């Protein structure tokens, strides 16, 4: 799953405008999640609220679909 998410992130970051408000939110969420995970006491620490993760993954999927659509349009 991590490999899939990295792939999605790569496609999103290389295709979409980083100054778009949705992209700014995506990058902000990603950074916040990383900070929370880095501050965890151990790997079993429930450091990231599930709501934050859900928002991140929903936004990631929306942006991924938008990036795929843009790549398809550019290919035609």
* Calpha distance 42→26 (Å, rounded): 25
Residue 40 pLDDT = 84
Residue 45 pLDDT = 74
Residue 68's domain comprises: 47-75
67 within domain boundaries: yes
65 within domain boundaries: yes
55 within domain boundaries: yes
Residue 60 pLDDT = 96
59 within domain boundaries: yes
Q: In the chain, which stretches have pLDDT less than 50? A: 1
Residue 66 pLDDT = 96
8 within domain boundaries: no
35 within domain boundaries: no
31 within domain boundaries: no
Residue 3 pLDDT = 57
Residue 5 pLDDT = 63
CA–centroid distance for 53 within its chain: 10
Domain count across the chain: 1
Of residues 15, 7, 9, 17, the one with CA closest to residue 73: 15
The tokens describing 68, both together, are: 């795929």
């Amino acid at each position: 799953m991590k490999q899939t998410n990295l792939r999605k992130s790569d496609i999103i970051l290389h295709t979409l405008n980083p100054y778009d408000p949705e992209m700014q939110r995506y990058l902000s969420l990603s950074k916040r999640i990383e900070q929370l995970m880095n501050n965890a006491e151990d790997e079993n620490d429930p450091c990231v609220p599930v709501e934050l993760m859900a928002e991140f993954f929903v936004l990631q999927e929306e942006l991924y679909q938008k990036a795929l659509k843009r790549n398809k349009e550019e290919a035609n």
